[in-house]
Amino acid sequence: MLKRLARTKQSPWVCHQCLQHFRRQRRFNSTVAAAAAKARDPAPNPLYGLSASGKTDDDALRKVFDNASFWDSFKRASQKGTPTGIIGNKYLTHPQGFVDFVTVTIQRCNAVVQKVAAAQSVDDFKHMVKDLDKLSDLLCRVIDLADFVRGTHPDRKFQIMAMKAYQTVFQYMNQLNTTPVLHDQLKKASEISEVYDTWTEEERIVARILMEDFSRFGIGLDDKTRERLVDLSGEIADVGNEFVEGMAPEKLSLKFKSSRLRGLDPNLAKALTKWGETKISTMHHESQAVLRFVEDADVRQETYQAVRTANKPSIARLEKLLKLRVELAQTSGYETFAHMTLENKMARTPEAVNTFLKALYEDSRPAVLADLEELMELKRGDAHQDNFPNRINAWDKFYYTQKMLATMEGHYRQRTPDSLSAYFSVGTVLQGISRLFDRLYGVRFVPKETQPGEVWEDGVRRLDVISDTEGHIAVLYCDLYSRPGKTPNPAHFTLRCSREILPSEMEEMSHMQHRFSSPIEAATDGMPVSYNAERNSYFQLPTIALICDFSKASHSRPTLLNIHDVRTLFHEMGHALHSILGRTALQNVSGTRCATDIAELPSVLMEHFAFCPHVLGLYARHWETDAPLPMAALESRLAIDNRNQYSELESQILLCMLDQAYHSPIAADPNFNSTKVSHDV
């Protein structure tokens, strides 16, 4: 109810496109193609509509990511401001600040619950949806930010306090989700025509959503059952976090005689070798390099199996999580967790999902077989193959795909850096996205100095989102570079949603003791707001974090992105755009707070802009010479990318089928074995 049951916590948006580790590096040597490309290369588009200050901002956007000296100077200016907390939340200047943040939040939530429970008049009921939405927002402010900090902040003390804050407020939220008086009062308000007729479309939609979620959380069940649901929800969250944070393979590393690793990059091999033995981590990129480049099929097989074999604690947590989800669903009146989760999604039922997946599988199968036959031809001609010679094994796929791509490029220097990367520095790509957003939506990115304590790591950049007509409308934190302990998975986090600040909140905070200089600061934890003149009210600004794992720049050269990385950045910016433009008065329907499948639409759409010729003209320039991108080379590169798209599609289909199987009735079987189910699929 108060936090959409379908997504028990605000999950970072991570797609299969974001998680592909397959890197295809290439070189192009066609002089004819190069000449043709030169003739077709578009001239850079002018910066339509940007003022002098806008052009300065546009230039600074590229430099804060690409120019180390500029960034050092920019960062020094940031250290001179007034100290603040993480993302401007003034409670979080130190780890113990989470205690105060939670205490004040629960105090404010209790006041809302009392107000809702005491509602009697028509005027009271007219404000019911806004009050419950405020309650939801107060909870999400803590849960979403704490969830982000515990998984991203490098300081262990912050991680521990964020975890405690998350657990406390999550448990409190689950208790509210099973509180009958909140459901009963909302139901009563919805049934009073004098009330319902005054509600906006947003309010009516949120009322319906909340009623459905109350029902999904077993609000009509007896007290003992509701208590069990609260306990189950908390246990599922805890086990889920343990599973994600504790995932590990059975073998953390493998050792091979260095002579068996022929084909591996010599520099990488040298770094990993000691006394004639090469140590390969099964959790890092070197295992992927082995699968792509090492000629010895037995080495690839052992590496593949080690990477794909989880340790026993990970498997135990997974199976415990799946059994708890079954119990939660069945206690709530659903056959399976899949039925409960899909009820408000596009497909509606597991049966519909499985029908779709099977049809998609059958439709793509001929193309998959054609892809595999191409790889098989390469394997037949490989003098090094004696490992299951008459079939393509899982550990063969990356290796022979890499060979096929190298053949298409007309060379076998497989480790040559992608020549196109020079045209896709992080700064130029973000500059291009900003210019694209300016042309399509009238919004652009402006680098902003941070205050001491505002970011969790020195390399994080803050971008303010500026609208042509509305001014400052959102805040975007870009944590794009690799560091020890950081997740390698790209993700978008909504740390705070859009919501209109009610006059009653300003009144409430003016009578409440707090540490802030004004009621509006107290109502928003000190974070940025915007004033809406038409409504004569304040709105809290969407606050977003974008996480990637790109290599760090050096002082002599910026970070350069390959084609996959560019797609990833456009994809994640699609999610960010959803949060930026989806600014509503009620947080339950703002930005990415919608059905999970719908939330992928803006991000997938953004991917299609990445390599459109008109968009490339906005940003694709050589980082050093400023020369335009050779279009013929890009077209050849994209054609290569498409060669194995059906095999990748099949892999995703099989993962989807496994997901459905894990959340089917078989998970309730006492003899449920997740490994066997995986093999069966």
Active-site residue set: 572
Give bridge partners of residue 628 from the DSSP assignment: 621
Beta bridge mates, 281: 253
Please answer whether residues 93 and 85 qualify as being in contact, where contact means their C-beta atoms are separated by less than 8 angstroms. yes
Task: Locate 175 and state its tokens.
Answer: 């208790």
Q: Give SS3 for 567.
A: helix
Joined together, the tokens standing for residue 177 give 């989700």
Place of tokens 């109810």: 1
At residue 191, the 3 state secondary structure works out as coil
Is 457:95 a contact under the CB 8 Å cutoff?
no
| DSSP notation for 566-634 | HHHHHHHHHHHHHHHH---SSGGGSTT-S-HHHHTHHHHHHHHHHT-HHHHHHH-B-TTT-PBP-HHHH
Handedness of CA 637, 640, 646, 651 (dihedral sign): negative
Give the DSSP letter of residue 546. E
Strand, helix or coil at 575?
Answer: helix
Is-contact 136 587, C-beta < 8 A?
yes
| Residue 235 Cα to chain centre, angstroms | 24
- What single-letter DSSP state applies at residue 347? S
| DSSP code, position 484 | T
What's the longest Cα–Cα distance across the chain?
Answer: 84
Closest by alpha carbon to 400, among 372, 436, 442?
Answer: 372
Q: What is the DSSP letter of 15?
A: -
Q: How far is CA 397 from CA 228, 376, 642, in A?
A: 47, 10, 15
Number of Cβ atoms within 10 Å of the Cβ of 491: 23
Q: How do strand 471-481 and strand 543-550 relate by DSSP bridges? A: parallel
Distances (CA, A) of 321 to 316, 569, 673: 9, 32, 13
Question: In 3-state terms, what secondary structure has residue 550?
Answer: strand
